[in-house]
RNA sequence: GCCUGGGUGGCGGAAUAGGUAGACGCAAGGGACUUAAAAUCCCUUGAGGCAUGUCCUCGUACGAGUUCGAUUCUCGUCCCAGGCACCA
């Protein structure tokens, strides 16, 4: 054992050992209990960043821990390799997206290996390979056959910068989730997955995902957005047409005074044709079509609309209601028509005020005067129904159901449920994605590619044009194929699939990554799935996690898997943050562009003092990033791993601190020196594992502390993944060991000392696997066996010492403490408490009302 | 506006069934070793008070409440972060 700790030397050695011996390769083994641990695979953007390091370190600790607990652990890694950055980078650097992607993968794979993660690299998946997307195309065809995929022309979210369509989930506050540019509406033919078919099931199971953070399931519930109410038919006066509306407030039907249609509603043209209002209507529709949905639905956008020159009748009382088109009515939600009740809906209220429409109060809160309701704003709360014929006097909560019963009895409307979630649009007008396996034929329409012709390989020729248009459309050799159904000349679909499709089933592919006869081997999936613990960023709370749940249901209903939920437990780790530094002239500064003069940072470019800004998520734009490779180079992977775990519990944000990293490095150095001090003496000593009672006092104390530490670390990892407190516990133990000088101890301590030192190595091994493996070997254990060692049990009879510290309170205030034999009875404890000199000061001359004795903890004397 | 989290020393964070608030680490200050520095080791460190103690008072965003006892439970208020938002 070297006297000094040389992390890089040790880490290189163990990493190559693990690689050569395939130490973490696994096979399905029905005789053993499995544990599938998965971290969200990365997009190969170029380099590993610190967020990856944190995510994968958390996962690696759990994987190593579970392995030591005897589980057969599947812990794979791969690459979410299709996507637009590859294409953009290819255009910018005049290279090919494939080349850019594969080069990045090579770099990032090396970086991951430098961190010592225990992946089964034999199972590596790269989603842009035909071996992988072949099965995605196969699944697409199966879904097509089951009518789970369809094509329609619709308005879609379009990003001009990315030159492609975005799913609703991929639009953030009106901007593209990837590049941040404004999204506009464009009418296009698109492929869709019928995720809405599963809206109810996905929603219902949200409450059964007990291993998921509540905020994630809440976000999914909000996204699915279920509302219950009624669908009602309003006849249009003087025609045979009816307008169908969805409402969550059937109880306000008697207050409906006008109707609002979305500008795109099919009846708008028909009903306004030939009317005096036609021109105004056409103008309004034209104007709305130029505004994106997102703009139309912007914050506090003024409500506006146009009367279309037609009326409909309220089916419950034949009231004549003017029909408007309104900017706030959206064709995509419900039926595209709103029954407007201005007294009880804020939008309708504002609209009615602006256009002088009738406002009728039909819900009255307890004790309120009807005249005071809906004067300055709509009343949206509960109350008693009024002005509602036979329903007047009924509580509106009960009225909702009663009114729908009435509708159903008279054929006016029915009970109905609406969801906010839309079908998942997956067409992307880009090159670097999985081709959609469809051929367009003039005679047969859209025809799926036959299974034997899969994969539809993405052609290599890629003359990517500025602006990112897909080259597939102009590649005759790709486009021109015969129709699989009739043989006539056909044209291939040139859209590629959304990259979220690849990540919706990769976790199943990991179970049998090389299977070339099926999407996966049923036995392998049956054994490994579902994922026992999934770990990743909360930014995927809706998109990736919802899509994956949907895909798993599709596979379930095809009989390919026997479970509906892919991820039993989910951990969403917090972001890695760091303070930002800004120079007045040079803007944000990278850490290496910042020079510290004392406490004050200065700009390295101009030398003027720089301003320290708030702590924010690490990002290139804020330049508050750090390079994991440089850290590994300076301190070693173990230090980086240790700091990522120690600085904060996993689900919380982590504030990066260079001094904190130093502290972690110092701790590992202390551990190294601790072993170095004892190695000659204890190299051949057997660890003591017997009962504590036969040990001399100070050895017993150490023995107990060690067992307490084992229990603490086990519980912290097992129950809560709170590695920070687990590490603290080991630090406490090592602090205690550090003050023991070998020269001053007689051999009676040796067995316990050896046990304590061995325990530290084992307990820390999932966290810092390299240094622990090295000291394990140096202490005379068989080389390389630590990572396969059993997780240590603790002795229940060695968890508590023979004495207890009891604290004494007087009226709940701490007044004294004493040590007493652990099996002293309440009377003895009480007597000691009343006898304590400081306690006596507070209780003398006073009457004691009550004495509360809490076993092993405290005495409270109530005066 | 609605829905989730969260607010504890100079800082990151502990306190896992209502029972010693501040574990562990960082930073800071003092000391030892050294020609010196680095490294290492030791001590101090929530605020305030004096009688300097096995001392007292205050203290977990703020205000109430339940309790012998509340960082922990209940109600109300404020602030921060994330998500959703003309969804009929």
Task: Give the model's pLDDT for residue A466.
Answer: 55
Name the nucleotide with the smallest C1'–CA separation from A346: B86
Distance CA A169, CA A546 (A): 10
Q: Is the peptide bond before A530 cis (omega within 30 degrees of 0)?
A: yes
- What domains lie within chain A, and their CATH numbers? 35-122+501-572 (3.40.50.620), 136-194+423-497 (3.40.50.620), 226-419 (3.90.740.10), 576-628 (2.20.28), 657-798 (1.10.730.10), 803-862 (3.10.20.590)
Residue-wise pLDDT for A111-153, tens only, equals 999 999 999 999 999 999 999 999 999 999 999 999 999 998 8
Stretch among A108-122, A355-369, A486-500, A627-641 having the lowest mean pLDDT: A355-369
> Measured in whole angstroms, how far is the alpha carbon of residue A586 from the centre of its chain?
35
Name the nucleotide with the smallest C1'–CA separation from A841: B55
Name the nucleotide with the smallest C1'–CA separation from A811: B68
Name the nucleotide with the smallest C1'–CA separation from A248: B88
Phi, psi of A799 (to 5 degrees): -95, -20
With beta carbons less than 8 A apart as the criterion, state whether A111 and A48 touch: yes
Residue-wise pLDDT for A525-558, tens only, equals 999 999 999 999 888 888 899 999 999 999 999 9
> Measured in whole angstroms, how far is the alpha carbon of residue A813 from the centre of its chain?
45
Task: Give the model's pLDDT for residue A366.
Answer: 76
> Measured in whole angstroms, how far is the alpha carbon of residue A558 from the centre of its chain?
27
A325 burial (CB, 10 Å; 0-12 / 13-18 / 19+) is buried
With beta carbons less than 8 A apart as the criterion, state whether A202 and A545 touch: no
**Mean pLDDT estimate for chain A:** 90
Identify which of A504, A572, A576 has the alpha carbon closest to the alpha carbon of residue A533: A572
Q: Is the peptide bond before A455 cis (omega within 30 degrees of 0)?
A: yes
Name the nucleotide with the smallest C1'–CA separation from A617: B81
Task: Give the model's pLDDT for residue A286.
Answer: 85
Task: Give the model's pLDDT for residue A836.
Answer: 86
How many Å does it take to go from CA A710 to C1' B42?
Answer: 28
Q: Which structure tokens are listed for A91?
A: 């255009």
Distance CA A771, CA A751 (A): 22
Confidence of residue A561 (pLDDT cuts 50, 70, 90): very high
Residue-wise pLDDT for A592-610, tens only, equals 788 776 666 778 888 887 7
Which is more confidently placed, A263 or A510?
A510
How many Å does it take to go from CA A717 to C1' B16?
Answer: 12
Helix, strand, coil % over all residues of chain A, rounded to 5: 40, 20, 35
- With pLDDT > 70 as the criterion, what percentage of chain A qualifies? 97
Name the nucleotide with the smallest C1'–CA separation from A297: B86
How many Å does it take to go from CA A759 to C1' B33?
Answer: 32
Name the nucleotide with the smallest C1'–CA separation from A674: B40
Residue-wise pLDDT for A75-105, tens only, equals 999 999 999 889 888 888 889 999 999 999 9
Q: Which residue carries 């968890």 as its tokens?
A: A799
How many Å does it take to go from CA A728 to C1' B10?
Answer: 21
What Cα–Cα distance (Å) separates residue A227 from each residue in A199, A223, A248, A724? 12, 12, 7, 43
**At A241, is the secondary structure helix, strand, or coil?**
coil
**Highest mean pLDDT range out of A332-341, A393-402, A513-522?**
A513-522
Confidence of residue A846 (pLDDT cuts 50, 70, 90): confident
Task: Give the model's pLDDT for residue A296.
Answer: 60
Could you write out the DSSP letters of every residue in A285-354?
HHHHHHS-HHHHT-TTPPP-EEEEEEEEE-TTT--EEEEEEETT--TTSTTSEEEE-GGG-HHHHHHHHH
Residue-wise pLDDT for A198-225, tens only, equals 999 999 999 889 889 888 998 899 899 9
Residue-wise pLDDT for A758-796, tens only, equals 999 999 999 999 999 999 999 999 998 999 999 999 999
Phi, psi of A340 (to 5 degrees): -95, 125
* Closest residue to B70 (CA, C1′): A812
Rounded to a whole number of angstroms, the distance between the first and last alpha carbons of chain A is 63
Task: Give the model's pLDDT for residue A18.
Answer: 96
With beta carbons less than 8 A apart as the criterion, state whether A815 and A808 touch: yes
How many Å does it take to go from CA A586 to C1' B11?
Answer: 28
How many Å does it take to go from CA A116 to C1' B34?
Answer: 39
Handedness of CA A493, A494, A500, A506 (dihedral sign): positive
Q: Which bases of strand B have any atom within 7 Å of the beta carbon of a protein residue?
A: 3-5, 11-16, 19-21, 23-27, 39-42, 54-57, 68-70, 82-88
Residue-wise pLDDT for A158-171, tens only, equals 887 777 777 776 77
* Closest residue to B67 (CA, C1′): A812
How many Å does it take to go from CA A232 to C1' B78?
Answer: 45
In the predicted model, is pLDDT for residue A325 greater than 70?
yes
Stretch among A10-14, A462-466, A559-563, A842-846 having the lowest mean pLDDT: A462-466
Distance CA A330, CA A683 (A): 77
Distance CA A627, CA A629 (A): 5
- Average confidence (pLDDT) over A49-70: 95
In the predicted model, is pLDDT for residue A292 greater than 70?
no
How many Å does it take to go from CA A642 to C1' B26?
Answer: 14
- Average confidence (pLDDT) over A806-832: 87
Task: Give the model's pLDDT for residue A465.
Answer: 64
With beta carbons less than 8 A apart as the criterion, state whether A634 and A8 touch: no
How many Å does it take to go from CA A732 to C1' B23?
Answer: 9
Q: Which structure tokens are listed for A782?
A: 């068989």
């Amino acid at each position: 054992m070297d006297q000094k700790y040389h992390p890089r030397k040790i880490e290189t050695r163990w990493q190559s050992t693990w690689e050569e011996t395939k130490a973490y390769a696994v096979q399905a083994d029905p005789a053993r209990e499995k544990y599938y641990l998965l971290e969200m695979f990365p997009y190969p953007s170029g380099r590993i960043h610190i967020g990856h390091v944190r995510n994968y370190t958390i996962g690696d600790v759990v994987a190593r821990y579970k392995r030591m607990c005897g589980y057969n652990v599947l812990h794979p890694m791969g690459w979410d390799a299709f996507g637009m950055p590859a294409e953009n980078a290819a255009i910018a650097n005049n290279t090919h997206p494939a080349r850019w992607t594969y080069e990045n993968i090579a770099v990032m794979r090396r970086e991951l290996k430098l961190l010592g993660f225990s992946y089964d690299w034999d199972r590596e998946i790269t989603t842009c390979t035909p071996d992988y997307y072949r099965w995605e195309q196969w699944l697409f065809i199966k879904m097509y056959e089951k009518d789970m995929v369809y094509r329609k022309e619709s308005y879609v979210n379009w990003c001009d910068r990315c030159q492609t369509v975005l799913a609703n989930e991929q639009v953030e506050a009106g901007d593209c989730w990837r590049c941040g540019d404004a999204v506009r509406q464009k009418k296009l033919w698109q492929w869709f997955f019928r995720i809405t078919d599963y809206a109810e099931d996905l929603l219902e199971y949200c409450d059964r995902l007990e291993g998921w953070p509540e905020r994630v399931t809440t976000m999914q519930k909000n996204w699915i957005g279920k509302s219950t109410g009624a669908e009602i038919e309003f006849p249009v006066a003087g025609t045979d047409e009816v307008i169908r509306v969805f409402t969550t407030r059937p109880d306000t039907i008697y207050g409906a005074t006008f109707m609002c249609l979305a500008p795109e509603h099919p009846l708008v043209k028909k009903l306004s044709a030939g009317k005096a209002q036609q021109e105004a209507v056409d103008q309004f529709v034209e104007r709305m079509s130029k505004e994106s949905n997102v703009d139309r639905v912007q914050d506090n956008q003024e409500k506006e609309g146009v009367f279309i020159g037609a009326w409909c009748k309220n089916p419950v009382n034949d009231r004549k209601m003017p029909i408007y088109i309104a900017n706030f009515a959206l064709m995509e939600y419900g039926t595209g028509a709103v029954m407007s009740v201005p007294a009880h809906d804020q939008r309708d209220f504002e609209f009615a005020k602006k256009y002088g429409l009738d406002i009728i109060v039909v819900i009255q809160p307890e004790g309120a005067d009807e005249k005071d309701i809906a004067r300055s704003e709509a009343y949206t709360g509960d109350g008693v129904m009024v002005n509602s014929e036979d329903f007047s006097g009924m509580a509106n909560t009960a009225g909702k159901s009663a009114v729908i019963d009435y509708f159903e009895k008279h054929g006016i409307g029915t009970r109905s449920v609406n969801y906010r979630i839309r079908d998942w649009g997956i067409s992307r007008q880009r090159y670097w994605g999985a081709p959609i396996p469809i051929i367009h034929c003039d005679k047969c329409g859209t025809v799926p590619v036959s299974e034997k012709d899969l994969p539809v390989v993405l052609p290599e020729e890629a003359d990517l044009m500025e602006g990112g248009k897909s080259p597939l459309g102009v590649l005759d050799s790709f486009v021109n194929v015969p129709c699989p159904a009739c043989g006539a000349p056909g044209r291939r679909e040139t859209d590629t699939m959304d990259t979220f499709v690849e990540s919706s089933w990769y976790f199943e592919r990991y179970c049998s990554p090389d299977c070339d006869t099926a999407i996966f081997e049923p036995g392998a999936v049956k054994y490994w799935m579902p994922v026992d613990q999934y770990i990743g960023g909360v930014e995927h709370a809706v998109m990736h996690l919802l899509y994956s749940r949907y895909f798993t249901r599709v596979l379930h209903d095809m009989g390919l898997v026997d479970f509906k939920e892919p991820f039993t437990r989910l951990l969403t780790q917090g972001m890695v943050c760091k303070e930002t530094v800004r120079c007045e002239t040079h803007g944000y500064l990278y850490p290496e562009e910042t020079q510290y003069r004392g406490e004050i940072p200065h700009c390295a470019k101009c030398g003027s003092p720089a301003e320290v800004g708030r702590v924010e998520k690490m990002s290139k734009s804020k330049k508050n990033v750090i390079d994991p490779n440089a850290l590994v180079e300076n301190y070693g992977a173990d230090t980086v791993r240790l700091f990522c775990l120690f600085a904060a519990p996993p689900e919380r944000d982590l504030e990066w601190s260079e001094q904190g990293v130093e502290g972690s490095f110092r701790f590992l150095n202390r551990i190294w020196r601790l072993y170095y001090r004892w190695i000659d003496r204890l190299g051949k000593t057997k660890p003591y594992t017997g009962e504590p009672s036969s040990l001399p006092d100070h050895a017993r104390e150490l023995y107990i502390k060690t067992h307490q530490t084992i229990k603490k670390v086990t519980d912290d990892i097992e129950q809560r993944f709170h590695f920070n407190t687990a590490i603290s516990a080991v630090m406490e133990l090592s602090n205690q060991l550090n003050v023991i000088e070998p020269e001053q101890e007689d051999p009676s301590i040796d067995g316990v000392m050896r046990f304590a030192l061995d325990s530290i190595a084992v307990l820390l091994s999932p966290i810092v696997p390299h240094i622990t493996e090295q000291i394990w070997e140096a202490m005379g254990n068989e080389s390389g066996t630590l990572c396969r060692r059993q997780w240590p049990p603790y002795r229940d009879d060695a968890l508590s010492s023979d004495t207890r510290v009891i604290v004494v309170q007087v009226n709940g205030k701490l007044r004294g403490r004493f040590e007493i034999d652990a099996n002293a009875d309440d009377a003895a404890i009480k007597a000691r408490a009343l006898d304590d000199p400081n306690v006596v000061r507070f209780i003398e001359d006073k009457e004691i009302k009550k004495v509360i004795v809490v076993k092993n903890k405290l005495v409270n004397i109530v005066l």
